[in-house]
Amino acid sequence: MTSDEAASKRVAFYQELVSGWVTTQIEADKQAMTLSGLAIGLLMVLHRSINTSHGFVLWSLAGVAFFMAIISGIRVFYVNARYVEHVIGGDDDIQEAQVLNQLSRLTHLIYGSFLTGAFLTAILAVISTPFIQKVGAN
């Protein structure tokens, strides 16, 4: 195998590796956004069983957390699309480290918001169940 063939294989391998990583990241972000949307629907169902001010506060905070996850995911897609456009266009002014740092922070915000919303929703579901309410009343 010549050095050109070896270099070509390394480039092809690296290209597939990057493509797989990007696809995985995008799918994970899309799943978090989809689950956040479903969770907001679940919160609408749980809203009927909220009888206390604590429950309303938990409900509100969980809704805000899921909404932040969705908005952050949309922002990740926007920033990523602008970054790819600049790279394809040969823009030398783009600050790659800054963009990647922003994408990393947004991704952490997606997952943090989603997990916070999931935790608050779980607490809300537990305190809203009739059995727990009956035991607490006795």
Rg of the chain on CA atoms, in Å? 22
- Residue 73 · residue 110 · CB < 8 Å: yes
Whether residue 73 lies inside any domain: the answer is: yes
Give a yes or no: residue 10 inside a domain.
no
Q: Note whether residue 68 is domain-resident.
A: yes
For the segment 12-66, what is each residue's pLDDT rounded down to a tens digit?
Answer: 777 777 677 778 888 888 898 999 999 999 888 888 878 888 889 999 999 999 9
Q: How confident is the model at residue 137 (pLDDT cuts 50, 70, 90)?
A: low
Orientation of helix 96-128 relative to helix 3-46, angle to 10°: 30
Domain membership of residue 54 (yes or no) is yes
* 55 CB-near residues (< 8 Å, 6+ apart): 124, 127, 128
Q: Which amino acid is at 82?
A: R
The chain-wide mean pLDDT, for the chain, equals: 84
Indicate whether 134 belongs to any domain.
Answer: no
Distances (CA, A) of 69 to 29, 83, 122: 9, 21, 17
Q: Can you tell me the distance from the alpha carbon of 20 to that of 113, in angstroms, rounded to the nearest whole number?
A: 25
Query: How far apart are the C-alpha atoms of 23 and 25, rounded to whole Å?
Result: 5
Residue 5 lies in a domain: no
- Domain, as residue range, for 121: 27-128
Task: Provide the number of structural domains found in the chain.
Answer: 1
133 — pLDDT class (breaks 50, 70, 90): low
Q: Which residue has the tokens 């907001």?
A: 40
Q: Residue 42 falls within a domain, yes or no?
A: yes
* Mean pLDDT lowest among 33-42, 76-85, 92-101: 92-101
Q: Is pLDDT of 75 > 70?
A: yes
Does some domain include residue 82? Answer: yes
Q: Please tell me which residue, 132 or 45, carries the higher pLDDT value.
A: 45
